[in-house]
Amino acid sequence: MRADRLVALLLLLQTRGRVTAAEAAGELGVSVATARRDLEALSGAGVPVYPQAGRGGGWQLVGGARTDLTGLSAPEARALFLLLGPASSAGPDARGALRKLLRALPGTFRADAAAAAAAVVVDPAGWGERVRDRPDLALLLDAVVARRVVEFDYAGRGGAAGRRRAEPWGLVDKDGTWYLVAGTPAGRRTFRLDRIGAPEVTGEGFERPADLDLPGVWDEVVGEMERSRSLVTATVRAPARLVPVLRDRFGRHCAAQDGPDDEGRVRLRVAAHTTRSVAEQLAGFGGAVEVLDAPAVRAELASLGAELVAHHGSA
């Protein structure tokens, strides 16, 4: 959900008192299904909006129509900003909506709401498998917002397990795998949530670094990680219509090198952490995508093709 659309929907509910999904869709310029999902997302985030069935029904806020946002409770404001925070990376309009909403909140809620908005970063480019079920996520998110020190068991890749103590600065959702960015006695560290065990929130508070820029910190983490992973790159040539699909597949590791040529094809540079991974992500495009260099990737594609023929070819 876009942050500016969410704010517009909330204000629409407050000014009209009650709206149907069709009315909301007309006002926001989206489909009825999208408007219904947006309304359900507001409700799921803890904002007091509920549907009323029957003639004259629709969606409305508990307590009736209001002309500002000061009726939100502290938990509701924090829940709303947890939705808006990651969405604010979408662009200046979304960030502007976030600032307006923050100014509309009572002063006593602003600190928690601002902390919640800055608590989560969404990075759509994955590093492999997805780990979506994280029962400890809500506990750690509360610790980030409340600025409380946490303790947990942790075993790093190839390292011995031990009890850790950290100041949780923020959380990152990297294509479904969650990471905790935290301050420790040894400096900044990043922990995968699926390797965290028995987390506990202590009663000890901490102050986040005044100049902390969580998206910037995460960019540094990604840069360090990817340098250590020795990315394999390849130049490919693909129809322009497939460029958005390739960008979705490779994330930040897909960059166009020129515009469409006379045949409507574009040269791109793609990368992944292994030769096999590059080939696997390109294989599904068949002959539509041509690898121009990287002999190892071309050989891997040929190997994948041979495997497919051996397993699925006709007798």
pLDDT in tens, 5-63: 666 777 777 767 788 888 888 877 788 888 888 888 777 666 777 777 766 678 887 76
Which pLDDT score is estimated for 66? 47
- 141 and 197 share one domain: yes
Q: Which domain holds residue 247?
A: 232-312
Tracing tokens 């023929």 back to the chain, one arrives at 309
- 186 and 83 share one domain: no
- 153 and 113 share one domain: no
Which pLDDT score is estimated for 67? 39
- 207 and 255 share one domain: no
Nearby residues of 48 by Cβ (< 8 Å), 6 or more positions away: 61, 62, 63, 76
- 29 and 93 share one domain: yes
- What is the 3-state composition of the chain as percent helix, strand, coil, each rounded to the nearest 5? 45, 25, 30
| pTM, entire model | 0.50
- 208 and 110 share one domain: no
CATH assignment at residue 268: 3.30.70
Which residue, 201, 226, 251, sits at the end of a domain? 226
Q: What is the pLDDT of residues 122-142, one digit of tens each?
A: 565 555 444 454 667 778 888
- 9 and 94 share one domain: yes
pLDDT at residue 159 above 70?
A: no
pLDDT tier at 1, thresholds 50, 70, 90: very low
Which residue, 97, 117, 137, sits at the end of a domain? 117
pLDDT at residue 110 above 70?
A: no
More confident residue, 26 or 105: 26
Q: How many CB atoms lie within 10 A of CB 278?
A: 26
- 78 and 15 share one domain: yes
- 109 and 142 share one domain: no
Which pLDDT score is estimated for 150? 95
Which residue, 226, 249, 274, sits at the end of a domain? 226
The H or E element spanning position 245 is helix 243-250
- The Cα 178–Cα 25 span in angstroms is 33
> What total of structural domains would you count in the chain?
3
- 192 and 139 share one domain: yes
- 271 and 184 share one domain: no
| Single-letter amino acid, residue 99 | R
Tracing tokens 């995968």 back to the chain, one arrives at 192
Q: How many residues does the chain have?
A: 315
Which pLDDT score is estimated for 104? 63
- 24 and 113 share one domain: yes
- The Cα 227–Cα 215 span in angstroms is 18
CATH assignment at residue 159: 2.30.30.520
